[in-house]
A and B are shown apart, each in its own frame.
Chain A
Amino acid sequence: MHRLSLARGAASGVAELSPDDARTASRLADLLLEVARSVDRDMAAAFPSRLGGDPQLDALRSLVLEQDRAAFASLREKIDDPQQFAEAISAVLANALALAEARDDRLAAVLAPAMERAAHVAIRKDVGPLVGVLYPLVGPVIRKSIAESLDGTLRRLNQAFKDSFSWRGLKWRLEAYRSGSTYADVVLKHTVVYRVEHLFLIQRESGLLLEHVAAPQAETQDPHMVSGMLTAIQDFVRDSFGNAGDAGRSGIDSLRLGDLLLWCEEGPLALLAAVIRGNPPESLHGVLRETLAGIHQDLRGPLESFNGDSATLGDLTSRLSPCLQQQEQPPDTRLSPWLWAIPLAILVFGGAWLAYRTLISYRVDSYVQALRSEPGVVVTAAERRYGTWHVAGLRDPLSTDPAVLRQKSKLSPEQVVENWEPYEALNPAIVMKRLAATLNPPRGVSLSLAGRTIRAEGSAPEHWVEKARALIAAMPAGAPSIDLSRLKDVQDPDFIRLRDALQAHVITFASSAPRPPVGQDAVLDAIASELSELIRVARGLGFSVRVMIVGHADATGQETSNLALSAARAEVVRSMLKSRGIAPHLLLVRSAGTLEPEQVSSAGQELATNRRVTFTVSTSD
């Protein structure tokens, strides 16, 4: 607009000029306007040409601009005609794209959306051609991917089966059961323990080592030679077992040597070989693949033109180092349940043992207590030696058997070893037992304890009381006192009657005659019959009787002959009773001579009463 007003100003502000000058100036302004119109399309539309109708100018124009005009027309025709314009661009398009691509990456950014849309449209329209193109590519890719993942699964499965029937497998099953996870998870956790020890980046064609990185402390031979040999072996495998027609055939991609595993990732220009110890996870394949792909993407040029100088490839160590992965089996910080079970078991067993020991101690205590309170038993020692209780002491044989008390305390002979020395106790109860055992008291006699005194009560025959007295007299000093005062001497009335009747009989003799005079047979018969009756009654009462036949003589004559005469008189009566059926052993004989006269007198009558035989009844058990 500025330039336009200047042109107008130039055209209108010439009034003061001379007419010729004004015309010249007007022409100049028109020319300038024309130039401006030809330059600026908007101006051409806004302002009509003011040069029209000047034949001189037209002639001049056609003269000067004829060639340019033809060229311009031709160009315009090319630009205006789409066909021609397209042809012109198609001739330079490839070069232009190449230049643009070389300059920077804007071209890719600009083209990407359009290409994407185009691909979408093409696929939507007809997917066939795309499938045709992708098919040879997709097939091997999918095959390889499936093969690899199957291989991994099989390897894990194989491992799992191998472990299923081992101690380790059982342990893992238990762990799976305890932790609530699946067995497969547990197997994975334990088997995926590995360390990438070496990485060789190798130029594929020459086998030259591009870079080698190793984990700390990992040992290897010369990496250059290893790299060469690895490539040679790959070539060998490829040649020997690959399909001749398969251009993209691959060599070894996995090789196991005991604990060592070799994984090879092949790219078009380089090979990445990883030497791994242990069982790596499948994901490591991905890491290796991505690393190799990244190296290919960024270093395609240097890799293609690699001439043996590793310096041209820059820092590959930092690119490869992330692949030096390892997973160590995490140290099991949890305490094994067995570690808890052991002290628990010790505690339980210890507790049980302690409880058992305490129980036994308690029982032995109560047993010893019972023994101590038992009359006739003196415990001198009760102690525990080498796990067994030993009880020793003195024991009256009449005291209670310790085995009975031990059984009451629920102790076995193995648990308590006993050693008892016999002794005679003066304990009243034992003494009473002993009395009972020795005297065998008849029915009606009862023994009882009153303090330290043993009291006999009831009725007893005299002979028993006699025996009891004898026994008491033989008791050692310090023995309990025995009171027989309450015993009643109760005899059988028949026995007393018969005894008294027998003892009342006297057989008299003629002077110096050892035999009774005739007529005494009736007396002797009576004596024999009474004696038989007495023996029978006494036997019925539980004892026996004996009869002492005492011969007497009068004071006339010599004493020695009198003694012999009295003995002869007693012997005669004994034999006469014997002949009447009396057992001879019940008949005792004693000669009293003149020592036990009936009457001490020298008168004849009185003397006759001294010539006699008398009877005394004694009892025994």
Chain B
Amino acid sequence: MLQKKVCVLGAFGVGKTTLVRRFVESIFSEAYLTTVGVKIDKKTVRVGSEPVTLVLWDIAGEDAERSVRMNYVRGASGYFLVADGTRAETLDVASSIQGRVTAEVGGLPFLLLINKSDLQESWDIAAGPVESLERSGWGVVRTSAKTGEGVEEAFHELTRRMVS
């Protein structure tokens, strides 16, 4: 059986935990996020006929006081960068994290999830920067924790990228 460590990274309050909550198996309380700074969940995804177990490291969001512990990223096979579509600055944080991850552990498959796609009316991220990121090879998926839009696809896409 194949298993992969996948990190979920992003700015504080972008809805990382909420986003994956409905799609994963979980046994640990969210208190771990504030204490240890990480919470482990599990998700099984099928690529072709082969099941792949994703061990998800939901890492505490980054804010002014606390940056992502790079130790937690070591050994990952891929990661999600989560940004909040209604807060443009979270995209910058995601970009910054991506740079640090690449510097720390090298290039890994990753996807940028722009969350809160259900709140189109208060959308804050312009199309330009996203398109330029896509052009530079970033995979971008618009997701909604509320409706579940794009989440399953994002898991499949990242798994496919890690396994291939």
Interface on A for B, CB 8 Å cutoff? 203-209, 221-222, 224-229, 232-233, 235-236, 238-239, 307-311
Contacts and interface: CB of A to CB of B under 8 A. Distances in A.
B161 interface: no
Given A207-B55, A225-B27, 15 more contacts: A205-B75, A206-B74, A206-B77, A207-B5, A207-B75, A222-B42, A225-B28, A225-B41, A226-B27, A228-B55, A232-B32, A308-B2, A308-B3, A309-B3, A310-B1
B64 interface: no
Contact of B40 (A204, A225, A238, A309): A225
B37 A208 contact: no
Nearest to B5: A206
Contacts of A207: 5, 40, 55, 57, 75
The 3 closest A-B pairs by CB, nearest first: A206-B75, A205-B75, A228-B40
A86 B5 CA distance: 52
Contact of B72 (A222, A226, A235): A235
A229 B75 contact: no
Given A208-B55, A208-B75, A229 B2 contact: no
A2 to B, nearest CB: 69
B3 A232 contact: no
Contacts of A309: 1-3
Contacts of A239: 69, 71
Contact-residue bracket for chain B = 20 to 34
Contacts of A310: 1, 3
B57 A228 contact: yes
A308 to B, nearest CB: 5
Contact of A229 (B32, B69, B74, B76): B32
A233 B37 CA distance: 9
A226 B36 CA distance: 14
B13 to A, nearest CB: 21
B162 to A, nearest CB: 8
Interface of B: 1-5, 25-28, 32, 36-42, 52-53, 55, 57, 69, 71-72, 74-77
B27 A222 contact: yes
Q: Which of A206, A233, A238, A308 has the most CB of B within 10 A?
A: A308
A238 B53 CA distance: 27
Nearest to A235: B71
Given A207-B55, A208-B55, A308 B77 contact: yes
12 contacts: A206-B74, A207-B5, A207-B55, A224-B3, A228-B55, A229-B40, A232-B32, A232-B72, A235-B72, A236-B69, A238-B71, A309-B1
A324 B55 CA distance: 26
A309 B1 CA distance: 6
A236 B32 CA distance: 11
A236 B36 contact: yes
A208 B3 contact: yes
A203 B41 contact: no
Given A206-B5, A308-B4, A225 B42 contact: yes
Contacts of A206: 5, 74-77
A307 B77 CA distance: 8
A515 to B, nearest CB: 150
Contacts of A232: 32, 36, 38, 40, 57, 72
A533 B133 CA distance: 171
Contacts of A209: 3, 55
Contacts of A203: 75
A208 B162 CA distance: 15
Contact of B36 (A208, A233, A307): A233
Nearest to B105: A205
A224 B55 contact: yes
Nearest to B162: A308
Nearest to B69: A239
A224 B75 contact: no
A207 B53 CA distance: 13
Nearest to B74: A205
A238 B5 CA distance: 20
Q: Which of A203, A209, A239 has the most CB of B within 10 A?
A: A239
A210 to B, nearest CB: 9
A224 B53 contact: yes
A573 to B, nearest CB: 143
A225 B55 contact: yes
Contacts of B72: 232, 235
A209 B5 CA distance: 10
Contacts of B3: 208-209, 224, 308-310
A241 B98 CA distance: 27
A255 B83 CA distance: 37
Contacts of B4: 208, 308
Contacts of A225: 25-28, 40-42, 55
A545 B162 CA distance: 155
Contacts of A311: 1
Contacts of A221: 27
A236 B27 contact: no
A400 B126 CA distance: 133
Nearest to B37: A236
Nearest to A229: B40
Contacts of A228: 5, 40, 55, 57
Contacts of A227: 55
Nearest to A221: B27
Contacts of A235: 69, 71-72
A606 B10 CA distance: 179
Contacts of B69: 235-236, 239
Nearest to A239: B71
Contacts of A224: 3, 42, 53, 55
Contacts of B28: 225, 229
Contacts of A222: 25, 27, 42
Q: Which of B40, B41, B42, B76 has the most CB of A within 10 A?
A: B40
Contacts of B37: 236
A309 to B, nearest CB: 5
B5 A208 contact: yes
Contacts of B42: 222, 224-225
Contacts of B5: 206-208, 228, 308
Nearest to A311: B1
A236 to B, nearest CB: 5
Contacts of B53: 224
A208 B26 CA distance: 16
A338 B76 CA distance: 63
A205 to B, nearest CB: 4
B28 to A, nearest CB: 6
A224 B4 CA distance: 10
Nearest to B163: A308
B100 to A, nearest CB: 16
A239 B68 CA distance: 13
Contacts of B32: 229, 232
A221 B36 CA distance: 19
A239 B2 CA distance: 29
Contacts of B26: 225
Q: Which of A204, A205, A232, A236 has the most CB of B within 10 A?
A: A232
